Amino acid sequence: MSPQHGTRSSAHGGERPRRRGRTKPRPDREPSAVTNGGPAAVNREDLRADCSACFGLCCVALPFARSADFARDKPAGRACGHLRDDFGCGIHARLRDEGYRGCTVFDCFGAGQKVSQVTFGGTDWRRSPESASAMFAVFPVMRQLHELLAYTAEALELPAARPVHRELRRALARIDELTRGDADSVVALDVNALRGEVNPLLLRASELTRARVPGRGKDHRGADLMGARLAGADLRAASLRGALLVGADLSGADLRDADLIGADLRGADLAGADLTGALFLTQAQLNAARGDTATTLPPPLERPAHWAREGSAGGVVDA
């Protein structure tokens, strides 16, 4: 999988999916200015991919390399051969069987519909080919902005993070404003610098939240735990930020309130693991992992369909 491509959402597909209802707050979260119409209001539903409002941008703008995740090479800016005229995926129902596992775990965090419907006003790249290159350049930048929006919005729902809510609201408002700029202004953004400003706030929100859990959570930030045998491990309130957990055996592990932002869970075994209250866990991370019906997930995240088909092998798996 190319680093530019990352992971793709299983929502993209043949039948254009309807937008889901408004996300219900998690039991350990509280309503905030994110959704109540405050000065920094952002609708969390707009941070979930709505492929029916997108022009198949992840299938065109991003490159992928032939690998275990993709059946063939595709350069950036060229449409995937399975992209239909209506921007749906011709093999959506059998992507994993056809060798496009990477396509089932990508999440644009709603950037696709923002670029399609806001930045370019609903005019697609097929009808206006002169806009194609600009649209394809904006999309990967917008995805990073929407990912930051999603994390910041989640941090604002954490009651224990109230001491940094004011700064988080300012950051949310600023990022949201940047996503609404024109194509040239979005492409010119220094996203790394912006991320450097927001990350300390997210880290502080995480620390405040995990500090309320009895005991001291383990610090595995950025750790190389590839293939690690962590079955049944006590990782409650642990920091696993950016940890490499590819193929790790986390079956039955206690991951309640653990910070999983940026953790690489490809092929990780989450069978029977408890992820209640996990911080900054995304659907894409779950889609890339393995689990079962005993895996406890925090709402509104959903159990990936392929978990039931593939089962859990435990230990190191092909990632």
Q: What is the pLDDT of residues 157-186, one digit of tens each?
A: 999 999 999 999 999 999 999 999 999 999
CA-to-CA distance for 153 and 155, rounded, in angstroms? 5
CB 89 within 8 A of CB 10: no
Is residue 313 over pLDDT 60?
Answer: no
| Average of per-residue pLDDT across 218-244 | 97
Residue 98 CA from chain centroid, whole number: 23
Q: Extract the tokens encoding 247.
A: 């193929």
Is residue 16 over pLDDT 90?
Answer: no
Is residue 68 over pLDDT 90?
Answer: no
Is residue 15 over pLDDT 90?
Answer: no
CA-to-CA distance for 260 and 63, rounded, in angstroms? 26
Is residue 35 over pLDDT 90?
Answer: no
**pLDDT (0 to 100) of residue 311:** 56
Task: Give the torsion through C-alpha atoms of 197, 174, 201, 258, to 10 deg.
Answer: -110
Averaged pLDDT score across all residues of the chain: 87
- Residue 63 amino acid letter: P
Task: Give the residue among 207, 55, 201, 161 at the shortest CA–CA distance from 118.
Answer: 55
Give the pLDDT band (50/70/90) at residue 29.
low
CATH 2.160.20.80 fits 218-319, yes or no: yes
pTM here?
A: 0.85
Residue 45 CA from chain centroid, whole number: 13
| Average of per-residue pLDDT across 291-309 | 91
Helix, strand, coil percentages for the chain (3-state, nearest 5) = 35, 5, 60
Which residues of 24-144 form beta strands (DSSP E)? Answer: 105-106
Q: Extract the tokens encoding 239.
A: 């920091």
Is residue 310 over pLDDT 70?
Answer: no
CB 148 within 8 A of CB 198: yes
Among the residue ranges 16-30, 41-55, 62-76, 93-107, the one predicted with the least confidence is 16-30
CB 175 within 8 A of CB 198: yes
| Alpha carbon distance, N-terminus to C-terminus of the chain | 11
Start-end ranges of CATH 2.160.20.80 in the chain? 218-319
**pLDDT (0 to 100) of residue 34:** 54
- Specify burial of residue 100 (Cβ count, 10 A radius: 0-12, 13-18, 19+): buried
CA-to-CA distance for 244 and 220, rounded, in angstroms? 10
